[in-house]
Structure 1
């Protein structure tokens, strides 16, 4: 499964976690039992409906982000084990919570989740083991071919800096629309017009922040290496030391080649696609290629290659 398919799969798990309690909301109490005593098996903790739906999805999102970060260093072995196990456990546990509260007038009357949770743990462990075994059976990566790129002469004693920015107005507009929707829902709830719809506010707010962060980018090359800053605030930032960059080049790419707009993950590496055309592409000594769609990319690549050559001379 490519990174694009993995992202869609992760989003689908989040949707399932949120949808399970809301699909049965007519048969559930206002607060759901979400914790049971390990001694008696009786419910001893509860959450409102919106929290019971949202918290597991947030836990899943944190697990996905954590394993994605680890995957940059171990080639995805941890993700292949942790994500299937985490998905099975969270979906199974959410199903157990919904079933335990079904047709109960109060959360304190909820059924026990012991048997269902035991089955869920066993299936989750099996899913994690299967993912681990699948990761071990992957063929070893083939050595990468050397890719040459442009270079330039840097006069002795001089320090050079290259800077380029790109923004996508359509992504900024989408961030504005989703942010305005979240704000309107909060104001309507605060005014008492409707119950505060957290299940709608949270996804809209998160979408607005994420899309805004991916709507603009600034790439800078200095003697230290390359840093790529996202969003209007220049955060978050990805950095590569010049010693960790094998080569750099300029290359024309389209959204179709990258798999869409924004921050795209693929089998060959990562592409920040904000507009079709020239991209700065670097090949790190570890991990996949990274490409960012900025202007004057050939000069930035030439400076990176010159700095790398001077460091290794």
Structure 2
């Protein structure tokens, strides 16, 4: 999907605007004068960037990924953003020109695209690093408590993701991106009434599509989304008790971050949930696997901290 999606966008951008483009598109600009000094027919200007992207993506998946997931994610994210942004800049520069020699400048578009691509690469690498970390070995024992040997530190980690929420976030994000690209290419006026709600919905759903829970000497940490942001934290001494409970979306009012009579529930899949009863405030529950072991460790750490 990641290879095919940007490829489709790269090919579609020139063809969608073909009625307002010259027969040949300016595709190269002089470094000295800043004016266009190279061109391609429309079909080549549409297909060539897509082929470059496919080659880059396959190279990243085949060579970079085995050596490090973070590098692969950064390469794929930056490459897609840069090529799609550059293609939008080329289309905009040629828009409503009768001849490719009269094409406008792409300097600003390239500079902005390169900056955004670098930022996206950093975020993608950070997300891959955080989500790809190896969990610590789980200690033996069961709920409601476990014995922690003197001088030892135990850590419990669990992570859950909902593929349907991830798909919804990708769909709404793609809609916002398509509207933004159409505006950048000059095809339409910036449709803020469409872009803003779609972008907000994509970010909100993405933040609730996955969760990573950590129990350690510091207490409980619940990180949301692929970047692990935002984060909710409870100190060990502020937790009264923890336990595992089976919950369903129907019981808590739906999927995602839910508020109701049972307190706050992060519902990503029906089944076992880690439920925390803090000394102050409402109960908090999150649907993660191995919740009984997490609750047992959290109870022991809370008792020791108090």
For 2:231 and 2:191, the matched residues in 1 are separated by: 33
- Residue 290 (structure 1) aligned to one of 260, 284, 300: 284
Question: What is the root-mean-square deviation of aligned Cα atoms in Å?
Answer: 0.9
Deviations 1:223-257 (A, max 9, x none): 11000000011111000001100000000000101
- Relative to the length of structure 1, the TM-score reads 0.52
For residues 74-93 of structure 1, the aligned pairs below 5 Å read none
Normalised by the length of structure 2, the TM-score is: 0.53
Which residue, out of 161, 168, 172, partners 1:174?
A: 168
Shift of 1:192: 2.4
Secondary structure of 2:228's match? coil
Q: Aligned residues, how many? A: 164
Aligned partner of 1:188 in structure 2 is 182
Indicate whether 1:156 and 2:150 are aligned. yes
Distance in 2, Cα, partners of 1:267 & 1:258: 8
Deviations 1:132-153 (A, max 9, x none): xxxxxxxxxxxxxxxxx61111
How far does residue 196 in structure 1 lie from its aligned partner after superposition? 1.4
Shift of 1:177: 0.4
CA contact (8 A) 2:237 2:303 kept: no
Given the alignment, which residue of 195, 210, 215 partners 1:221? 215
- Which of 271, 274, 280 matches 1:277? 271
5+ residue gaps, structure 1, are: 1-148
Shift of 1:172: 0.4
Distance 2:235 2:305 in 1: 11
Distance in structure 2 (CA, Å) of the matches to 1:268 and 1:258: 7
Which residue in 2 is equivalent to 1:300? Answer: 294
Unpaired segments of 5 or more residues in structure 2? 1-142
Paired position in structure 2 for 1:265: 259
The alignment partner of 2:202 has SS state of helix
Matches of 2:182 and 2:155, distance apart in 1: 49
Structure 1 outlier segments of 4+, above 4 Å? none
> Is residue 192 of structure 2 the alignment partner of residue 198 of structure 1?
yes
Structure 1 CA distance for aligned equivalents of residues 261 and 269 of structure 2: 21
- Report the Cα distance in structure 1 between the residues aligned to 2:175 and 2:260, rounded to whole angstroms: 31
Counterparts of 1:309 and 1:234, CA distance in 2: 28
Q: Secondary structure at the match of 2:269?
A: coil
In the TM superposition, residue 170 of structure 1 has moved relative to its aligned partner by: 0.4
Q: Among 213, 226, 237, which residue is 1:243 paired with?
A: 237
Separation of aligned partners in 1, 2:221 and 2:302: 15
**2:303 paired with 1:309:** yes
The superposition leaves residues 186-244 of structure 1 with CA deviations (integer Å, 9 ceiling, x where unpaired) of 11122222221100100000110111111000000001100000001111100000110
